[in-house]
């Protein structure tokens, strides 16, 4: 299959908002390909390269595209051209380029690849390389389509993706058939996509939804980590499954205290001051960016709230009550301070205590809930004392006055089907340091400047606090955030982790049902 043919399929996928039709299109395509091409196509339609990062970023792509001549008249009709396997092999060679003159050689390779192609194919490859492919075929849809194309159970293929940590490995396993899928187990030092939480409307609603005796624990304002241990070997992975072991020696040392030879535990990296108050999230994340911690670096600790594997036994399919007992046995005092919720008053008291201690809020978890790796499970609900939303930065406007020379006013979006819906702007809540970082980061992500607005690659996730949701004639989605202000950036999250327009609509309808009172909104 040629890359031009795949680009056309991507356009077809983008042309429908129906999830069912997208899956059908991808399944039909994958079903027509040989195994090697199937792997490449699955990755490309999911917006990723099998090789990971290959050293080509937005700046290089823009430079190459500006230097290209308009495609020839027959480029759009070309029946031949590079195949998926040929493009994949080229990207493998590009990744291996290093040393003096590397940028020039990468530029030459990309120019030669794009020059004979049509605009449609050029756009497809350019967006793929910079992480801007927006045809709505996110990886979960590709995984589902893969199962359909091979007549395999979707949950089995989805589970294999979560446990192998790789779409490439998932395709290879699925091609071997049902027995191979059933044999997939947790592998130490292959990170597992973390389970995520939904937002609770209120304490009472959360308790009603989770059934009898849910667990309540403090929601720490830290950085999500997953720690793997096998004897003296320890590895630590981020929420996005990046290996940060070398940067966190004090957390590696904690594993020596565990009462297990082998384990995988899920938790939060956090730091406390001398008074026992937690440091802000940004301070913790700054340590993750320090490749060589020094004696003056912020000292981290950790608290763990789940266990997925212990001494040869996978525990993620056991109910939380069993996992909790094993967790406390293995990590002892490093387990979060969880207890079973006996009443709404008890939860309210614990929430107040958590906030006074400087934490984010609470987590409520169903007693019999399983660990839904890589998914936002309905058995975990987070409660916060104000509305927050994870938005994607879609654009930014230059600052004025004392902020002249910066990129200040953010255009905020939420996920809406295969794209993003703009729901507000804000320049509030930015410290000078955060403003400087934001300016540098968004400059690098800028795709084009339209008037005075920098249109940026939809990649950066920002958590905003807001007072409510209101009808809006300004934005096509019809909704806007009231008094949005930046709480923090979330470098640990991808754009696919951002909140949805459906979630915002739920909040709006909930506020209307309470006679429009949004300033005293329920706990989020």
Residues marked active site are found at 219
Task: Report which of 188, 274, 281 is spatially closest to residue 236, judged by C-alpha positions.
Answer: 188
The DSSP element (H or E) to which 410 belongs, if any, is: strand 407-416
C-beta atoms surrounding 232 within 10 Å: 9
C-beta atoms surrounding 515 within 10 Å: 6
In degrees and rounded to multiples of 5, residue 104 shows phi and psi of: -65, -40
C-beta atoms surrounding 48 within 10 Å: 17
Paired strand residues for 270: 301
DSSP 12-39: HHHT---HHHHHHHHHHHHHTS-HHHHH
In degrees and rounded to multiples of 5, residue 419 shows phi and psi of: -145, -150
Task: Report which of 262, 252, 264 is spatially closest to residue 228, judged by C-alpha positions.
Answer: 264
User: Are the CB atoms for 199 and 524 separated by under 8 Å?
Assistant: yes
The CA-atom distances, in angstroms, between 27 and each of 96, 169, 361 are: 32, 18, 42
453-456 and 446-450 as β-strands: parallel, antiparallel, unpaired?
antiparallel
């Amino acid at each position: 299959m040629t890359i031009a043919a795949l680009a056309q399929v991507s356009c077809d996928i983008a042309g429908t908002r129906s999830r069912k039709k997208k899956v059908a299109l991808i399944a039909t395509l994958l079903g027509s390909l040989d195994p090697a091409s199937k792997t490449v196509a699955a990755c490309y339609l999911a917006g990723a390269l099998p090789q990971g990062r290959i050293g080509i970023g937005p700046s290089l792509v823009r430079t190459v595209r500006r230097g290209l001549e308009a495609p020839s008249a027959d480029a759009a009709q070309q029946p031949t051209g590079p195949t998926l396997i040929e493009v994949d092999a080229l990207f493998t060679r590009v990744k291996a380029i290093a040393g003096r003159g590397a940028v020039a050689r990468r530029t030459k390779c990309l120019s030669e690849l794009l020059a004979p192609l049509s605009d449609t194919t050029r756009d497809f490859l350019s967006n793929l390389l910079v992480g801007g492919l927006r045809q709505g075929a996110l990886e979960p849809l590709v995984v589902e389509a893969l199962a359909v194309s091979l007549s395999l159970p979707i949950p089995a293929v989805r589970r294999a993706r979560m446990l192998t940590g790789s779409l490439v490995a998932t395709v290879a396993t699925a091609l071997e058939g049902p027995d191979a899928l059933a044999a997939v187990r947790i592998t130490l030092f292959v990170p597992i996509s973390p389970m995520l939480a939904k937002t609770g409307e209120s304490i009472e609603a959360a308790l009603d939804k989770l059934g009898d005796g849910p667990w309540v624990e403090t929601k720490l304002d830290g950085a999500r980590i997953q720690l793997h241990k096998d004897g003296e070997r320890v590895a630590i992975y981020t929420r996005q499954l990046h290996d940060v072991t070398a940067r966190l020696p004090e957390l590696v040392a904690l594993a020596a205290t565990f009462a297990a030879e082998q384990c995988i535990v899920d938790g939060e990296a956090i730091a406390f001051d001398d008074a026992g108050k937690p440091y802000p999230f940004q301070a913790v994340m700054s340590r993750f960016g320090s490749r060589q911690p020094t004696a003056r670096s912020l000292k981290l600790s950790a608290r763990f709230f789940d266990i997925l594997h212990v001494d040869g036994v996978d525990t993620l399919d056991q109910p939380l009550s069993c996992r909790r007992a094993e967790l406390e046995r293995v990590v002892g005092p490093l387990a979060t301070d969880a207890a079973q919720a006996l009443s709404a008053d008890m939860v309210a008291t614990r929430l107040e205590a958590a906030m006074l201690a400087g934490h984010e809020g609470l987590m409520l978890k169903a007693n019999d809930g399983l660990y839904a790796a890589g998914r936002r499970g309905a058995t975990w609900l987070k409660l916060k004392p104000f509305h927050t939303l994870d938005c994607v930065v879609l654009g930014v406007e230059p600052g004025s006055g004392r902020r002249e020379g910066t990129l200040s006013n953010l255009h905020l979006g939420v996920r809406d089907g295969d794209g993003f819906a703009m729901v507000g702007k804000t320049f509030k809540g930015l410290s000078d340091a955060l403003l400087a970082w934001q300016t540098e980061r968004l400059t690098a992500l800028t795709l084009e400047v339209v008037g005075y607005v920098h249109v940026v690659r939809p990649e950066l996730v920002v958590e905003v606090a807001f007072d409510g949701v209101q009808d809006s004639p300004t934005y096509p989605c019809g909704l806007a955030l009231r008094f949005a202000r930046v709480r923090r950036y979330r470098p640990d999250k991808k754009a696919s982790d951002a909140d949805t327009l459906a979630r915002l609509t739920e909040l709006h309808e909930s506020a209307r049902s309470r006679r429009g009172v949004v300033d005293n909104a329920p706990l989020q």
